[in-house]
């Protein structure tokens, strides 16, 4: 009875929000409503995962399961940009996070499929897929803004021990910060891909023996602040928003937890005032937080 009551309450809550959204949509101006419909009716062939905007306002998205990068248009259509790693390997991995450098080049995080069951692996705290030597394509890929050529920046094929590349953020110098969901840590990759460091593997990026969310998963997504002095990252196993300072020498400082105790996060973004917005993986809601640091104790 308790479960059915909770389920009924949740359904009523969702119904309330659907009705409210419908009312707001109806009350919108015809222009705004037309733009809203254009985005809602965008017919993409697969699940959009990573998003990024260039200096001209063009919006790009990764299509997770087929490995395609597209540019979305205001009329709801889209243009093909590139296949990652290639069209021949479509469906053999997950294309996830996306970001752009100052020149408009696109960088994406790609995780190749292991022969091990993907769903079982994500629930296994030992993550055996991480040790599958046959997976060599996982890593970061660069898409040239002019030619749209795709080149690997840093992958397992060069010997880097990536497990589950998930998200990327590019600083003004062209360095790539990449989250690794099951390793778990944040990698820092030089602009030419020749230098790869485990930038942070702090315990707060990892999961505890009994993770709050129930998932043995670590750091998921990240974003740089406007001043590029801090990285904000979200975790899944023990859901947290972490503020990680970037020291003068470029190394990682001590992470400070912002609000925590939510369902698993699946993204983070900052507005002009430094407020972080974090969509939740197991919830229909997002949270917005001011960067007020809490004690790590």
| Residue-by-residue DSSP string for 126-187 | T-GGGG-TT----EEEEE-TTT--EEEEEEGGGT---S-EEEEEE-TT--EEEEETTTTEEE
Give the β-pairing of 196-200 and 219-224.
unpaired
CA 256/CA 289 separation, integer angstroms: 14
What are the boundaries of each domain within the chain?
1-41, 45-289
CA 63/CA 76 separation, integer angstroms: 15
Residue 6, helix vs strand vs coil: helix
CA 52/CA 108 separation, integer angstroms: 10
> How many Cβ atoms are within 10 Å of 284's Cβ, its own excluded?
11
For domain 45-289, which CATH number applies: 3.40.1450.10, 2.60.40.10, 2.120.10.30, 3.30.2420.10?
2.120.10.30
| Residue 33 and residue 25 in contact, taking contact as beta carbons nearer than 8 Å | yes
Written as tens digits, the pLDDT of the chain (297 aa) is: 444 555 555 545 544 444 444 444 344 444 444 444 455 556 889 999 999 999 999 999 999 999 999 999 888 889 999 999 999 999 999 999 999 999 999 999 999 999 888 778 888 999 999 989 999 999 999 999 999 999 999 999 999 999 999 999 999 999 999 999 999 999 999 999 999 999 999 999 999 999 988 889 999 999 999 999 999 999 999 998 999 999 999 999 999 998 655 566 667 776 666 555 555 444 434 444 454 433 333
pTM: 0.80
CA 279/CA 241 separation, integer angstroms: 11
């Amino acid at each position: 009875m308790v479960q059915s009551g909770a389920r009924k309450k949740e359904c009523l809550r969702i119904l309330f929000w659907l009705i409210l959204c419908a009312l707001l949509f109806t009350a919108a101006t015809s222009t705004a409503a037309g733009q809203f419909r254009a985005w809602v009716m965008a017919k993409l062939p697969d699940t959009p995962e990573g998003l990024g905007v260039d200096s001209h306002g063009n919006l790009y998205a990764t299509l997770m399961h087929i490995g395609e990068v597209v540019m979305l248009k205001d009329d709801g259509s889209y243009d093909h940009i590139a296949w990652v790693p290639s069209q021949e390997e479509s469906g053999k991995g997950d294309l996830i996070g996306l970001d752009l450098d100052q020149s408009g080049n696109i960088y994406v995080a790609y995780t190749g499929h292991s022969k091990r069951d993907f769903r079982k692996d994500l629930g296994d705290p030992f993550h055996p897929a991480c040790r599958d030597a046959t997976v060599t394509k996982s890593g970061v890929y660069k898409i040239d803004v002019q030619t749209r050529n795709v080149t690997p920046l840093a992958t397992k094929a060069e010997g880097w021990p990536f497990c589950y590349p998930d998200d990327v953020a590019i600083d003004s110098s062209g360095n790539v910060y990449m989250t690794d969901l099951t390793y778990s840590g944040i990698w820092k990759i030089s602009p030419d891909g020749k230098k790869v460091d485990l930038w942070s593997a702090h315990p707060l990026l990892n999961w505890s023996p009994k993770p709050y969310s129930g998932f043995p998963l670590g750091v998921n997504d990240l974003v740089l602040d406007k001043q590029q002095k801090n990285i904000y990252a979200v975790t899944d196993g023990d859901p947290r928003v972490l503020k990680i300072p970037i020291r003068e020498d470029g190394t990682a400082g001590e992470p400070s937890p912002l609000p925590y105790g939510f369902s698993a996060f699946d993204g983070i973004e900052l507005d002009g005032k430094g407020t972080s917005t974090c969509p939740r993986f197991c919830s229909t809601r997002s949270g917005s937080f001011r960067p007020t640091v809490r004690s790590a104790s």
